[in-house]
Structure 1
Amino acid sequence: MSVKLKVATLAAAIASLHAHGAGFQVAEQSVSGIGRANAGEAAIADNAAVISRNPAAMTRFDTAQLSGGLMIVDTNIDVTDTDRNQTAHDVAPMAAVPATYYLKPINEKWWWGIAMFSQYGVATDYPDDFLHGDLAGNTSLITVNINPNIAFKVNDKLSLGFGLSLIYGDAELDRHLGGASGAFNGKPSDKLISMAGDTWAYGWNIGALYEVSDTTRFGLHYRAETELEFEGKFTDHQGIIIDGGVKGATVTGDLNVILPATFEFSGYHDLNETWAVHYSVFWTEWSKFTELKATNSKCNFNGLQNVCFFKEEKYDDAFRYAIGATYKHSDDWTFRAGLALDEQGGKPTLSIPDSDRFWYSVGATWQYSESLSFDAGLTYLTSDDISFKESGLLGETNFSSTGDAFVSGVQLNYTF
């Protein structure tokens, strides 16, 4: 195997980490939202978690409220190399997603609130003996958004909101030789490359709430694009990218990653005293994610000086459609349900075998006392069975993927 081929195939190995960040969006910001497939999130405002989806809706609260939730994502994804008949089972480990929110009226016109949640993140873990270890080893991306907001009530019908975000990102990546270990005189579990780094970034969001009447309202929310500027440790375990050809050499790699902008439109309608319907259209500007390029003056990637790796990406803007219903059974119990279609964002890879996803959700709220309530939500999420090709150290290979997931959570809401 030539050094040129070895280097050329590393782009996909490294890029998969950040393709996760751009192509996989964390939709678990609220447990009550899980129970309705996030239908109507920018307009409902039934607890403080609405801050993450539309700060303007804080004006619907007469007193301060605190909401804190924990959501569990249990994913079951199997990926098969159909050319060699090898399957990696359950490649996405279980993940816990916490979120906390607090809001408070300042006076009759102004509100403030703060949110802490995640909007992007993913983890995959393939077996060390998987033949395509150069494309699919261990990948982790975690982001945390600390998001203070203010809201202003323009009049009885219109409210506006604005927020700033301090976003923390942490990324880790390991790739292995896999089935190409013989070409390197190594073992399949030997590392090929590693990368690790963290960073902080800033962003902003803006929202509006228009209350047509006591029974009908609409919400709009825009969260701006944010660029994460990673300065991470890049290790060339096989000595084929960093100048000098020394195995295990490490340099600082500079990499900018775009977290795409999002826009949501939501509606909410009370049909009577017990039933309500709600819906959302959620847009993500995936098309801004066009390439991945890490740089260092000591790197030479396939003839590209000062480049540790480079890879073009194929992503398109995508929509998410959700509809749900809420049933108020009594003063103590409220039930909800929802359906959603989450469109595929980008070309599938081993690290993110992306496809259209379908949400089937149910949830409930128990009003324990005048001040304290509890939410529970459960979503069954299915994805299309897909086939795709990817090129690595073993050449171009055909893959297939099947998967589903359960998302569950509990949340406490306390009104002061």
Structure 2
Amino acid sequence: MTTSKFLFRASLVAASVAAASTAYSAGFALNDHSATASGKALGGVAASNEDISASFWNPALFVNAKETTVYVSGAYVMPSMDVTVNSAKDATPTSPSVLGGPKDLTADGATQDSVDNTLVPAFYFAKPLSDKTVAGISLNVPFGLSGDYGQDWAGRFHATETAIQDIALSFALAHRVNNWASVGASVQIHKAEVVLESAVGTTTTLAGGEGIGRIEADDTSYGYSLGVALEPRKGTRLGLGYRSEVDFDFKGDVKYTDVSAGLAGAANLVNADVSDSITFPSVITLSLEQDLTPKLMLGLTAIRTGWGAMDGINIDFDSEQDNSELTFGFEDQWMYSAGLTYAHSDKLTLRTGVAMDNSPVTDKYRSARTPDGDRKWISVGGTYDFNDMTSATFAFTHVMIEDVSVNRNFTASGQEDASRGTLDADYKSSANVVSVAMNMAF
């Protein structure tokens, strides 16, 4: 018998209180880094001339700061994910002829909400060094999923709790080349912590029973971004931004609780050091903003995330345990959005937008850790200018998520579910997101 393999789901945390929601963005890319951008569903974000928060997608847009500027944004994510378990069996015991084979873990469909409300913050600071050059600092949570099934649900051998907590701190320079072109670049420090937990063993007492295994690991890594912003004619703005892949080499330990001596001996379940390498994907953002009238502006955006760089998890244990594997089977995907911005008055600006966010998860490899489906956004928002130096922004986004099913049955000898058993479950998810921000110039 091999140990139950630990799967992957992520929660990105900043300032010790922030986490991201599994129900918000396709895959686990987070896109609420700006209440301004969220109000128009990211339409035109990489070409925006509104404020410095668009610099997450295009560092050249730090040139939007004419004075020393601080922009602070927070998104309160209210997700819902109901899981209906149709069937689940534990793994085949070591002596199936004696122990009777896999056991049913649920007799009836069971539903539960396994995600919590969370806060996702973002912070930007810009200081002009000259009339043409601006230095910028930002703190963001670029990727994440979160949730906790608990240790008693029928799919516990596939997932109980998991998290990756990542803070990305960026240092940028942006330069206005002339009156219609700007460029920018940043370097980023990423600090990530990983938690992976699941049940191990089987429900059969004669085979040693079951327990819980928990992995905690961390790493610090680096990335960069590049961007260009153009206004070839007045009222027409183009923007292109690129965020690099980030390679993490996680190191930590695994600890087991409630594991019997028989199970520990049969499966080599001993506390040990662990390691794994994971690459977070690159992101390319292409945007257009067009002034339709002096008051009305159209924004269009296409975002390509290179999910194919994430082949899966292959956790190496510094013991005699077999590696723990999970195939992601992710595919590169696009997000498309369109937004409108309307200058209602000198003090009030209104926004709305829609988006289609395609999931990188394929039906074949969808798991309890990646129960992901395509998303559609509907957003509204606005900004009120108190004076020339201070403004407040609000946005509301409703995220509709495609109903999906998880059907895990890779249980043949040597396959990645051989020690987990089977799981057939249906997922219904959605999310509401409220974002607020303050923009202050000095």
Whether the TM-score (by the shorter chain) exceeds 0.5 is: yes
Are 1:77 and 2:104 counterparts? no
Q: Which residue of 2 aligns with 1:337?
A: 352
The alpha carbon displacement at 1:378 in A equals: 0.5
Distance (Å, rounded) in 1 between the aligned partners of 2:123 and 2:149 = 32
Distance (Å, rounded) in 1 between the aligned partners of 2:334 and 2:232 = 26
Counterpart secondary structure, 2:53? helix
Q: Structure 1 stretch 85-94 or stretch 363-372: which is displaced more?
A: 85-94
The alpha carbon displacement at 1:177 in A equals: 5.2
Are 1:350 and 2:376 counterparts? no
Counterpart secondary structure, 1:369? coil
Distance (Å, rounded) in 2 between the aligned partners of 1:179 and 1:363 = 51
Kindly provide the amino acid, as one letter, of the partner of residue 122 in structure 2: A
Are 1:273 and 2:299 counterparts? no
Are 1:325 and 2:346 counterparts? no
Counterpart secondary structure, 1:122? coil
Q: Note closer, same or farther for the CA distance 1:371–1:232 as it changes in structure 2 (3 Å cut).
A: same
How many residue pairs end up in the alignment?
Answer: 399
Distance (Å, rounded) in 1 between the aligned partners of 2:245 and 2:159 = 28
Are 1:15 and 2:7 counterparts? yes
Q: Note closer, same or farther for the CA distance 1:337–1:184 as it changes in structure 2 (3 Å cut).
A: farther
Counterpart secondary structure, 2:254? strand
Distance (Å, rounded) in 2 between the aligned partners of 1:88 and 1:147 = 41
- Find the partner of 1:372 among 357, 365, 390: 390
User: Does the Cα contact within 8 Å between 2:338 and 2:353 map onto a contact in 1?
Assistant: yes
Counterpart secondary structure, 2:325? strand
Runs (4+) of structure 1 exceeding 6 A deviation are 18-22
- Find the partner of 1:264 among 282, 285, 302: 285
User: Does the Cα contact within 8 Å between 2:157 and 2:421 map onto a contact in 1?
Assistant: no
Distance (Å, rounded) in 2 between the aligned partners of 1:164 and 1:263 = 16
Distance (Å, rounded) in 2 between the aligned partners of 1:179 and 1:230 = 28
Are 1:294 and 2:315 counterparts? yes
1:210-225 matches, within 5 Å, as 210-225=230-245
Q: Which residue of 2 aligns with 1:410?
A: 436
Q: Note closer, same or farther for the CA distance 1:220–1:183 as it changes in structure 2 (3 Å cut).
A: farther
Q: Structure 1 stretch 16-25 or stretch 201-210: which is displaced more?
A: 16-25
User: Does the Cα contact within 8 Å between 1:75 and 1:90 map onto a contact in 2?
Assistant: no
Counterpart secondary structure, 1:42? helix
Counterpart secondary structure, 1:206? strand
Are 1:382 and 2:397 counterparts? no
Q: Note closer, same or farther for the CA distance 1:382–1:311 as it changes in structure 2 (3 Å cut).
A: same
Are 1:136 and 2:128 counterparts? no
Distance (Å, rounded) in 2 between the aligned partners of 1:318 and 1:405 = 21
Counterpart secondary structure, 1:135? coil
The alpha carbon displacement at 1:104 in A equals: 1.9
The alpha carbon displacement at 1:111 in A equals: 1.2
The alpha carbon displacement at 1:127 in A equals: 3.1
Distance (Å, rounded) in 1 between the aligned partners of 2:50 and 2:26 = 30
Q: Which residue of 2 aligns with 1:250?
A: 271
Unmatched 5+ residue regions in structure 1? 302-307
Distance (Å, rounded) in 1 between the aligned partners of 2:429 and 2:285 = 27
**1:96-116 deviation line (CA, Å, top 9, x unaligned):** 101110112211231110100
User: Does the Cα contact within 8 Å between 1:88 and 1:127 map onto a contact in 2?
Assistant: no
Counterpart secondary structure, 1:57? helix
Kindly provide the amino acid, as one letter, of the partner of residue 334 in structure 1: T
Are 1:207 and 2:202 counterparts? no
Q: Note closer, same or farther for the CA distance 1:250–1:366 as it changes in structure 2 (3 Å cut).
A: same
Distance (Å, rounded) in 2 between the aligned partners of 1:184 and 1:366 = 65
Counterpart secondary structure, 2:242? strand
Q: Note closer, same or farther for the CA distance 1:245–1:179 as it changes in structure 2 (3 Å cut).
A: closer
Q: Note closer, same or farther for the CA distance 1:181–1:28 as it changes in structure 2 (3 Å cut).
A: farther
User: Does the Cα contact within 8 Å between 1:36 and 1:363 map onto a contact in 2?
Assistant: yes
Q: Structure 1 stretch 248-257 or stretch 352-361: which is displaced more?
A: 248-257
User: Does the Cα contact within 8 Å between 2:215 and 2:255 map onto a contact in 1?
Assistant: yes
Distance (Å, rounded) in 1 between the aligned partners of 2:138 and 2:304 = 21
Distance (Å, rounded) in 2 between the aligned partners of 1:292 and 1:112 = 37
User: Does the Cα contact within 8 Å between 1:16 and 1:135 map onto a contact in 2?
Assistant: no
Counterpart secondary structure, 2:46? coil
User: Does the Cα contact within 8 Å between 1:36 and 1:338 map onto a contact in 2?
Assistant: yes
Kindly provide the amino acid, as one letter, of the partner of residue 343 in structure 2: K
Kindly provide the amino acid, as one letter, of the partner of residue 72 in structure 1: Y
Q: Which residue of 2 aligns with 1:52?
A: 56
Distance (Å, rounded) in 2 between the aligned partners of 1:78 and 1:297 = 37
- Find the partner of 1:25 among 16, 21, 29: 29
Kindly provide the amino acid, as one letter, of the partner of residue 161 in structure 1: G
Distance (Å, rounded) in 2 between the aligned partners of 1:88 and 1:198 = 33
Unmatched 5+ residue regions in structure 2? 12-21, 88-106, 410-416
User: Does the Cα contact within 8 Å between 2:52 and 2:61 map onto a contact in 1?
Assistant: no
Q: Select the structure that is richer in strand.
A: 1
User: Does the Cα contact within 8 Å between 1:367 and 1:373 map onto a contact in 2?
Assistant: yes
Distance (Å, rounded) in 1 between the aligned partners of 2:127 and 2:206 = 63
Kindly provide the amino acid, as one letter, of the partner of residue 322 in structure 1: S
Q: Structure 1 stretch 14-23 or stretch 373-382: which is displaced more?
A: 14-23
Give the structure-1-normalised TM-score: 0.89
- Find the partner of 1:98 among 115, 118, 121: 121
Counterpart secondary structure, 2:146? strand
The alpha carbon displacement at 1:130 in A equals: 0.5
The alpha carbon displacement at 1:215 in A equals: 0.7
The alpha carbon displacement at 1:60 in A equals: 3.1
